[in-house]
Structure 1
Amino acid sequence: MLTPSATQDLIMVGGGHSHALALRMLAMKPVPGLRLTLVSPDSLSAYSGMLPGLVAGHYRLEETHIDLQRLCQATGTRFIRARAVRLKPEQRRLYLDDGTHLEYDLVSLDVGATPNLTAVPGAEQHAVAVKPVADFHRRWQALRDELAERDRPAAITVVGGGAGGTEMALAVAHALGDRADVSLVTAGALLPGFPAGVRRRMTRRLAARGVTLHSHTPVRQVQAQRLLSDDRELPHDFLLWCTGVRAASWLSDSGLPCDDQGFVRVNDTLQSPADARVFAAGDCAAFPGDLPKAGVYAVRQAKILTRNLAAAAQGQPLEPYRPQRRFLSLLSAGGRDAVGSRGGGPALAGGWVWRWKDRLDRDFMDKFDRRLPRMDAAARAGAPDDTLHCAGCGAKVGAQSLSEALAALDPVIREDIEAGVDHADDAAVIRWPADQRLVQSLDYFPAFVDEPYLFGRIAALHSLSDLFAMNAAPHSALATVCMPRHHPRLQSRDLHRLMAGALKELNAARCTLVGGHTIEGPQMAAGFTVNGAAPPADLWHKSGARPGDVLILTKSLGTGIQLAGLMHDLSRGPWLDATLDSMLRSNGLARDAMAPLAPNACTDITGFGLLGHLLELCEQSNLDARLDLDGLSLLPGTEELVARGVMSTLKPANDQVLTRCEHRDIADDDPRLAAATDPQTSGGLLFSVDPGLRDAALAALTQAGVKAAVIGEMSVKDHKALTCITLNRNAPC
């Protein structure tokens, strides 16, 4: 992943409409030297205009969400899947829920707003907020499954008579039909601020759908199965909260000027009046004149936000944002029906209005799908010194950048290390016990993601995996790191994040970082020489498998296919999330669970793929193996990517192992066969276990939180192929 040089960091917090559009525009007209980073807790960002249609069943989940992973890949933006928890403008630092922080030169906030459940006693305990949408959608799906088994209608109550609540009540009524009695409760009149014609038409549609409207009914308290108002009690089995909004608490805790609801105040250039380096847009911004929280403003703000971020980075004048006075408002009415108006004009209603709204919504989402801009590294040109850069002196990273990056890191300290990273000596000095064996391994590879903290964690885990596969206790590590050619300030930030990620995993494994080497290059890369210790009798080898042993594999397959899909812009955010989560699970958990059971043989599954490493185990143990494809677990999306011809560049070389295998009655394009030769990064462990310990091994792994499955067995070497691949355990070889 080639990285153009940069001199400034722009951190964009939140994947709202303004930021999504701004990333497209910044990609089409990049700012030299400006590096973009998007921070979001989820890879999918909901488009609010299509949420009622999702609930009503008109759209699939992926049609209503912007894939932020894919957007960032296409626009050359670093993506960090984390939640912001603190902002310190005076230090230009953003703190994340993973315990790390980001330093910025400019920061833009577009984190939206959530329904305020704290305003009414009991609402936090008993109501379901419609945002964040990911949480709401899971609850909604669970409700639908529950109602399918219910023998009487459920009482579904929606609180909030604004546009969101009214659309939600109609969507729920359409989706559930006679399985639910839907009520809409509002403290005042229905749809305040909308033209009378729109209110009348939506009221009629509520009645036609059987939705009971309780207007002028403020909710005073929420209990487990009822709402309490001034003069009545309303029962509910499922309560949706669509009224009142609040800001994330960390916005007001930042010390920036905020309004009474905690939203960041901005001036007409969308900057904080207290700090010109801080921008905000969308619902989290409090614009002069109390601008309503509406998506139409966020969409229009994107253009000015983009221009002003670029101008601020280049020291140019900024432009004012002028909110539109008239705009089109279209409300979904449950079925393929909608009601709307423009600027308070006459109301429009009917199926043709819904088709109009559907066309506008799909056109907006198409900007992040088929019309997504694709910018290569050259188009995202960096600083003008990219073309000529001295690589003398070992191409080392500058001493100041290095010392700044390492200053705040805290490696675990072992008593048997006499000189390590905290000394100025030329090499590490380690005392080694006489009764232990030194187990040593080295891994190094270029980054496949441009987020240093994430890559540092995966690089460390991948390197440690060889020690875990031999049942050695990690002891110490040396780092080899290549950093892209950025301004020294940015290099220091990146190196700190990479090493912080690596130390998170090294420290968890009680492995001390004792030193390393850093260089500059065109792309980020990292690796570790790791040292482990074990008594000779405790070591696991590939040569100990026995006939009849069951083969147990941890982790799902397909990381190479998934990363190839990412490079070809065919991956999807949820697929990549699952892939990265798998890579981030330490094999130390599986090693610890299996150590008391003393497996006969073990290997980790990395670059040669499952079949390649199984072949090594067969050759070292002088046995054959039987692999059952039905036992293999594939990462989400892997089958679809294989069907589209996606493969890792190393896979053709790995496929040579198939000449050593019998695989009759298995199609050449079977995705499980493709996954079996797919090179893995930070893959799982493959154990050869006595059949009598099969259930105990699976139970121990499950208790440790390790996903594992029996995928075959070892057999006496009595046929020409080392591995027999079958569709299931009972199929003949």
Structure 2
Amino acid sequence: LVNSIENLISKFRNKEKQQVQNGGIMKVSVVGGGAGGVEIAFSLQYRLEQERQALGLPESMKAQITLICSSVLLSSSTSQAQTIFRRLASERDSCMQIVEGDRVVQVLPDRSLVLASGRVLPSQDEVLWCTQAGAAPWLAGTGLPTDAMGFLAVDEYLRSDGGPAEVFAAGDVASCTPYPRPKAGVYAVRQGPPLAYNLRASLTGEPLRPFIPQTTNLSLLTTGERYCVGTKGWLTLEGKWLWSYKDYIDRTFMHKYGEGLIDMQDKMMKAAERHSSASSEPPSAYQAAGVEALTLFAESKMRCGGCGSKVGSDVLSRVLSRLRQEGLMSGSSNDRQSLPGDSGNRDDSAIVIGLDDPDDAALVRPPPPGSLLIHTVDFFRTFCSDPFIFGKIAANHALGDCYAMGGQPSTALAMTVVPLAAEGKMEEELFQMMAGASQIISEAGCQIVGGHTVEGEEASLGFTINGVVQETDVMRKSGLRSDQALVLTKALGTGTIMAAAMKGRAKGRWVVGALSSMQQSSKAAAHILQLHGSSSCTDVTGFGLVGHLAEMVKASQVRVEIDMAKIPVLQGAYECLKAGQLSSMHKNNATAVSVVSNFESELRFDERWPILVDPQTAGGMLAGVPLDQADICVESLRAAGYADAVVIGFVTSHDEDYGSQEHSQIQHETSNRGRRKSVENAITVKTTCV
């Protein structure tokens, strides 16, 4: 059973490989004879047949698709459309079978399907369920009026029908009592504008506008091979030209949620600016929202700078209290409870005065003899809509420098910027950011002992991290040696993917992958690198892989080579690079390619090389590891959850002339003439700040 598109694609790719290896016939059943089930069944049969032909497999290995309908095929469509799809199925050389008027009552362990009629469909490779919409169970517990199928009942104004007047609902979660319609997207999307209007009208006391849906809708169903069947009321058509029309409609609709969404946001911002400059009166929505909203509108005209920009103490106190109640933070020398995720090596006894104490600064005991203090800071503005995830990433990013030095973080100071909003909203955003960050910092064996929070235009977060390292355990950028391999612990690509996401041009699974990578701590990775003899390490962040490698190369006075084929890359990163979705740091980072010995001879001819200068957020560790330990080190990293860890290159020789003035001048001139020109030719695109 498959419950997500991403799983569906990966499952079928694996199944295809297995079928080719085993020489068997792939059998798939699609349960549900509505529009969705029909499109999936026909498209799947076409796709699998194309794959068979491309692989040169015999006709005896054609996939078998069974479409199971509890009533008649496409029961809500025209009889002509039903006839057309039955004909099309029969034309596919017995590869498609349609079962009508029967339903699945049991799925056996071997995926055999037992039908209500008693018929049994033998073991299926996959069973896809595409049945009619069902109401979410939680709706029954809301106390709101529902229809016979459990959907929220709304009136012609999309307002709860018989329920509270301030409750509105639209889309598949609701059923419009005066105008019952099928659960089709064409009706749901058209409820958006009247819903937005009625929400504002409800706040301002203006009359509501009714939503009167169309009586019929245009239905365009693809058969897979760029052929389409369309219905509108009693009219039924088919043909290739209809597929082109459907493709145009679909792409236009999806554009609204990609590039079009960014354009719409820009238009809304400009409209708001025009209203603000044209009138000093608050918008009607502010007036209707009450005193707090009107006060906020008036105060937003001029906000104080300096220390007057701090977030109020009441908000801070409530946030800290909530963090402690959630078990995410301890703050004073008298508050030493064990926190979730504590690594067990946090020395709270070193903190004399902490977060809960009323003093102006924290007091921390110095480390024992033989230890050194590490001090580092990182800070940046938000780039994702979830403040909790942003907090986790910001903390991970800040901790990376301490790990790269071989240290154990001990205390942290938070620097937070929260956008001006109603007090409750500011409190919640601050809490979510700090909750995510506190979770990561606690897991690191570190403790937040203070900070500073101010108002600003957009959310930003950073940390000053203080750590401890034994003098004998320090990993420095100057420690690369000619007998070492270059080990990278995480895949590259967060910069280009998030730049694309800001313009609505990144696929959801690419963004999810990038955010997941940024939330993975490098603590265990740094420890594993140390255990395998690493003498030089850095975390790959804003300057990109090559930018941070350049710092190591220059400090160590060595030469390095990179194997482009071994570079791990996040899913979607190359697609974003090819589309020109680059960060504003990209071009400056690219001047560092001169430190890679084989760039001119090899890498510059590889179209993938710009990933080497992609700025990373909370990137992985890059370290020099002895050659005889490199493979074992990579195996240990992968076992610890760093699935993309790999040897990406080698330190080839010691360069005694690297630090000389003459050599440095040659490097500088070369980089800023020939190489920079090639860089600029390769990256002449619009940039997005990330």
TM-score bracket for this pair, using the shorter chain length: 0.7 to 0.9
Which residue of structure 2 lines up, in the alignment, with residue 139 of structure 1? 11
Aligned-pair distance for 1:587?
Answer: 1.0
Equivalent position to 2:329, from 401, 407, 411: 411
For residues 560 and 176 of structure 1, what CA distance do their matches in structure 2 show?
36
Which residue of the other structure, out of 209, 215, 219, is the alignment partner of 1:325?
215
Q: CA 1:628–1:342 in structure 2 vs 1: closer, same or farther (change >3 Å)?
A: closer
Q: Is the 8 A contact 1:157 1:236 kept in 2?
A: no
Q: Deviations over 1:408-462 (max 9, x none)?
A: 1131543433332233332223334423432221112222334322221111111
Q: Contact 2:259/2:503 (CA < 8 Å) preserved in 1?
A: no
Q: Which shows bigger deviation, 305-314 or 253-262?
A: 253-262
Cα drift, residue 503 of structure 1:
0.9
Counterpart amino acid of residue 374 in structure 2 = V
- Aligned partner of residue 280 in structure 1, secondary structure: coil
1:348 corresponds in structure 2 to 237
* Number of the residue aligned with 2:406: 471
CA distance 1:239–1:323, shift in 2 (3 Å): same
1:683 to 610, 615, 619: 619
2:131 paired residue number? 243
Q: Residue 610 of structure 1 contacts residue 677 of structure 1 at CA under 8 Å; is this kept in 2?
A: yes
Aligned partner of residue 592 in structure 1, secondary structure: helix
How far residue 186 of structure 1 moved from its aligned partner, in angstroms, is 2.3
Q: Once the 2 structures are TM-superposed, how far is the Cα of residue 473 of structure 1 from its aligned partner?
A: 1.4
Q: Tell me how far apart the structure 2 counterparts of residues 653 and 334 of structure 1 sit (CA, whole Å).
A: 46
Measure how far apart 1:315 and its partner are. Answer: 5.0
* CA–CA distance in structure 1, aligned partners of residues 39 and 226 of structure 2: 12
Q: Supply the distance in 2 between the matched residues of 1:630 and 1:515 (Cα, whole angstroms).
A: 45
d(CA) in 1 for partners of 2:561, 2:41: 56
Distance 2:227 2:561 in 1: 58
Unaligned runs of 5+ in 2: 50-58, 277-296, 331-335, 337-347, 672-690
- Which one of 626, 647, 650 corresponds to residue 710 of structure 1? 647
AA at the equivalent of 1:665 = S
Using a 3 Å threshold, how does the CA distance of structure 1 residues 708 and 380 change in structure 2: closer, same or farther? farther
**Aligned counterpart, 1:285:** 174
The alpha-carbon deviation at position 380 of structure 1 amounts to 5.0
Is the CA contact (8 Å cut-off) linking 1:632 and 1:672 kept in structure 2?
A: no
- The percentage of aligned residue pairs carrying the same residue is 36
Task: Spell out, residue by residue over 1:646-695, the C-alpha distance to the aligned partner (whole angstroms, 9 max, x if none).
Answer: 54333444444345554332465755543333433212111111111112
Give CA deviations for 1:91-130 in whole Å, capped at 9, x if unaligned.
xxxxxxxxxxxxxxxxxxxxxxxxxxxxxxxxxxxx44xx
> How far did 1:551 drift?
1.4
The correspondence for 1:421, drawn from 349, 355, 373, is: 355
The change in CA–CA distance for 1:478 and 1:191 in structure 2 (over 3 A counts) is same
> Which of residues 559, 563, 584 in structure 2 aligns to 1:624?
559
Contact 1:558-1:635 within 8 A present in 2 as well: yes
**Larger fraction in strand:** 1
Q: How far, CA to CA, are the matches of 1:250 and 1:439 in structure 2?
A: 51
1:339-382 Cα offsets, whole Å, 9 max, x none, are 34322x24333444444434433343343456552433444558
Partner of 1:122: none
Question: Is 1:587 equivalent to 2:459 in the alignment?
Answer: no
Post-superposition Cα deviations, 1:677-722, rounded to whole Å, max 9, x if no partner, equal 3433212111111111112111111111112221222322245579
Residues 521-670 of structure 1: pairs in structure 2 closer than 5 A: 521-567=456-502, 570-643=505-578, 645-658=580-593, 662=597, 663-666=599-602, 668=604, 670=606
Corresponding position of 1:449: 384
CA offset digits 1:273-306 (Å, max 9, x no partner): 5455543322222332654222222122222223
Label 1:218 to 1:582 Cα distance change in 2 as closer, same or farther (>3 A): closer
Matched with 1:218 is 103
- 8 Å contact from structure 1 (residues 624, 718) kept in 2: no
Tell me by how many angstroms 1:144 deviates.
Answer: 3.8
Aligned-partner Cα distance in 2 for 1:370–1:441 = 38
Which residue does the alignment assign to 2:119? 232
SS in 1 for 2:352: strand
Describe the shift of the 1:189–1:633 C-alpha distance in structure 2 as closer, same or farther (beyond 3 A). Answer: closer
Which segment drifts farther, 635-644 or 234-243? 635-644
Aligned residue for 1:390?
A: 304
Q: Are the equivalent residues in 1 in contact too, given 2:259–2:505 (CA < 8 A)?
A: no
- Give distance in 2, aligned partners of 1:582 and 1:477: 23
Instruction: From 362, 368, 376, give the equivalent of 2:251.
Output: 362
Contact map agreement 1:453 1:499 (CA 8 A) in 2: yes
Query: Is residue 169–residue 184 contact of structure 1 (8 Å, CA) maintained in 2?
Result: yes
Is 330-339 or 533-542 further displaced after alignment?
Answer: 330-339
Q: Which of 267, 273, 296 is the equivalent residue of 2:155?
A: 267
User: Secondary structure at the residue paired with 1:246?
Assistant: coil
CA–CA distance in structure 2, aligned partners of residues 474 and 702 of structure 1: 24
The structural deviation recorded for 1:640 is 4.4
Call closer, same or farther: CA 1:313–1:680 in 2, change over 3 Å. Answer: farther
Taking a change above 3 Å as real, the CA distance of residues 538 and 277 of structure 1, as seen in their structure-2 partners, is farther
Aligned-partner residue type, residue 711 of structure 1: I
**Aligned AA (2:616):** Q
Against the structure 1 CA distance between its residues 624 and 499, is the aligned structure 2 distance closer, same or farther, given a 3 Å change threshold?
Answer: same
Equivalents in 1 of 2:586, 2:97: separation in Å? 60
- Tell me whether 1:200 sits opposite 2:83 in the alignment: yes
Residue aligning to 1:21: none
Moved more, 477-486 or 266-275: 266-275
Aligned-partner SS, 1:268:
coil
How far apart in 1 are the matches of 2:603 and 2:556? Answer: 29
TM-score (norm 1): 0.74
The runs of 4+ residues in structure 1 deviating greater than 6 Å are: 721-725
Give the distance between the partners of 2:568 and 2:41, measured in 1 at CA: 40
- CA-CA distance at 1:599 after TM superposition: 1.4
Residues 510 and 292 of structure 1: CA distance in aligned 2, closer, same or farther (over 3 Å): same
Q: 1:516 to 1:688 in 2, by over 3 A?
A: same
The structure-2 alpha-carbon separation of the partners of 1:545 and 1:199, relative to structure 1 and needing over 3 Å to count, comes to closer
Give the structure-2-normalised TM-score: 0.78
Paired amino acid for 2:114: L
Letter aligned with residue 548 of structure 2? H
Is the 8 Å Cα contact of residues 485 and 521 (structure 1) preserved in structure 2?
Answer: yes
Give SS of 1:322's match: coil
Q: Which residue is equivalent to 1:109?
A: none
Aligned twin of 1:699: 635
Taking the aligned partners of 1:528 and 1:568, their CA distance within structure 2 comes to: 28
Moved more, 696-705 or 164-173: 164-173
Residues 564 and 603 of structure 2 are in contact (CA less than 8 Å); yes or no, is this contact kept in structure 1?
no
What secondary structure, in the 3-state scheme, does the structure 2 residue paired with 1:269 have?
coil
Distance in 2, Cα, partners of 1:479 & 1:188: 62
Alpha-carbon distance between aligned partners in 2 of 1:525 and 1:281, rounded to the nearest angstrom: 34
Equivalence for 1:155: 27
Mark the CA change 1:318 to 1:418 in structure 2 (over 3 Å): closer, same or farther: farther
Higher helix share: 2
Give the Å deviation of 1:490. 1.7
Give the AA of the match of 1:425: D
Aligned equivalents of 1:653, 1:335: Cα separation in 2: 46
Unaligned runs of 5+ in 1: 1-126, 726-733
**Change in 2 beyond 3 A, CA 1:310/1:712:** same
1:464 partner letter: L
Q: 1:213 to 1:445 in 2, by over 3 A?
A: closer
Aligned residues: 596
1:419·1:428 contact (CA, 8 Å) conserved in 2?
Answer: yes
Q: 8 Å contact 2:31–2:128 — kept in the other structure?
A: yes
Q: Is the 8 A contact 1:155 1:235 kept in 2?
A: no
